Amino acid sequence: MKIVPLLALTALLAGCATAPPEGPRFDHSLTARAQSDRIKYVILHYTVSDLPRSINALAHGTQVSAHYLLTDTNPPFFYTLVDESRQSNHAGLSSWKIYNQLNAASIGIEIVNPGFKETAQGRVYAPFQQAQVDQLILLLKDIVKRYNIAPGNILGHNDIAPQRKQDPGPAFPWKQLADAGLIPWPEPSRVVARMPGYQEQLPEVIWFQRKLAEIGYAVPQTGELDQATRNVISVFQTKYRPSLFDGTPDAETAAMIDVLTTPLPVIAPATQPESNTQP
C-alpha cells in the first residue's frame, strides 16, 4: 500500500473544495416604488468674505464646505467643490419641518458677498450682483428639475438656523426667485386685503408661532414673545419684507404669514357639455 505524500494529498483536497465567491451577487430586475431623491433642499449662503478667502475656507479648510461656490467675478461662475452625490458641511445644526441636520438632505450654495459692514448710520448690507442672481437662478432651475425639489424647500441658512445665522441676509433678492417660479410668495393683493383685519385685531403670539411652524421654521410654541420667537419672525421678515425686520409681530407680517399658509384652492377647468347630436 502506497502512502500519498502530504503535499499531494493537500493539493487533491484543495481541488475538491468550492472556490470562494469573487463578490456579492446582485439581481437588478426589481425597483422599489417607495423611494425618493436624497436631495430635498437647497440652502443658500453668503460667504461674508472676498473670493480668495472664500476659496481658502470652503475648498482648503477642514471645517466647512459647499457643493457650489458662486464667484463675484465678471462674469460670475460656479466652482464645483463637492459632488452632489456627497455630503458637504454647510448647514450645521439645522431644522426645517420634519428634517434635522440638513447637510444630509441638501445641496449647499455659497455666494461670494461681503455680507455687511457697521457704519455710523447702522448696519449696511452689501447688494448681490445681478449677474450672480442670474447665474444662481439658472442653477436652481436645473437642480429643481433633476431632484423634483418642492418650491418651499429652497431656503436661506437663516431659515433653517434662525437662532444663529442671518445669511443670505436682507439684501438677497428672494422676490426674483419667486418671479422665476422657484419659491412661494405671498400674493400682494391678498396681503393688502387681509391687513385691515389684523390692524384691528392682531393675533396672539401663539398664532404666529403655530403658523411659522406650519411653514417650516423651528420656533417655540410657548405663547410668549421671547427672543427665540423674535429671531424667527425677523428671519421671516428678512425674506418677505426686508425693509423692516425687527422681529415685531405686526399686521403686515401676520397678513403675509396668513396668505402663505392658506393657498388659493385649485379650480378645475370647466368641462364642455356633452352633445346629444349623433355623428
User: Is residue 175 located within the same domain as residue 234?
Assistant: no
> Could you tell me the CATH number of the domain that includes residue 249?
1.10.101.10
User: Is residue 146 located within the same domain as residue 74?
Assistant: yes
Cα–Cα distance for residue pair 75/127, rounded to 1 Å: 16
User: pLDDT digit of tens for each residue in the chain (279 aa)?
Assistant: 555 555 555 555 555 566 777 889 999 999 999 988 889 999 999 999 999 999 999 999 999 999 999 999 999 999 999 999 999 999 999 999 999 999 999 999 999 999 999 999 889 999 999 999 999 999 999 999 999 999 999 999 999 999 999 999 999 999 999 999 999 999 999 999 999 999 999 999 999 999 999 999 999 999 999 999 999 999 999 999 999 999 999 999 999 999 999 988 766 666 665 555 555
Q: Give which of 117, 63, 55 is closest to 90, Cα–Cα.
A: 63
- Cell readout for 234 is 425677523
User: Is residue 122 located within the same domain as residue 98?
Assistant: yes
68 CB contacts (<8 Å, ≥6 apart)? 78, 79, 80, 81, 107, 108, 109, 110, 139
Residue 11 forms part of a structural domain? no
Q: Identify whether the C-beta of residue 237 lies closer than 8 Å to the C-beta of residue 222.
A: no
Prediction pTM value: 0.87
Q: Identify whether the C-beta of residue 205 lies closer than 8 Å to the C-beta of residue 219.
A: no
- Summarize pLDDT for 19-59 with one digit per residue, the tens: 777 889 999 999 999 988 889 999 999 999 999 999 999 99
Q: Domain range holding 236?
A: 188-261
Q: State the alpha helices, DSSP H only, in 50-204.
A: 51-55, 130-147, 157-160, 174-179, 188-200
Compute the residue count for the chain.
Answer: 279
Side chain identity at residue 244, one-letter code: L
**Catalytically annotated residue among 110, 187, 214, 274:** 110
> Is 22 labeled as catalytic in the residue annotation?
no
User: Is residue 122 located within the same domain as residue 228?
Assistant: no
User: Is residue 128 located within the same domain as residue 235?
Assistant: no
Tally of domains within the chain: 2
- Summarize pLDDT for 90-119 with one digit per residue, the tens: 999 999 999 999 999 999 999 999 999 999
Residue 8 forms part of a structural domain? no
> Could you tell me the CATH number of the domain that includes residue 125?
3.40.80.10
Percent of the chain scoring above 90 in pLDDT:
82
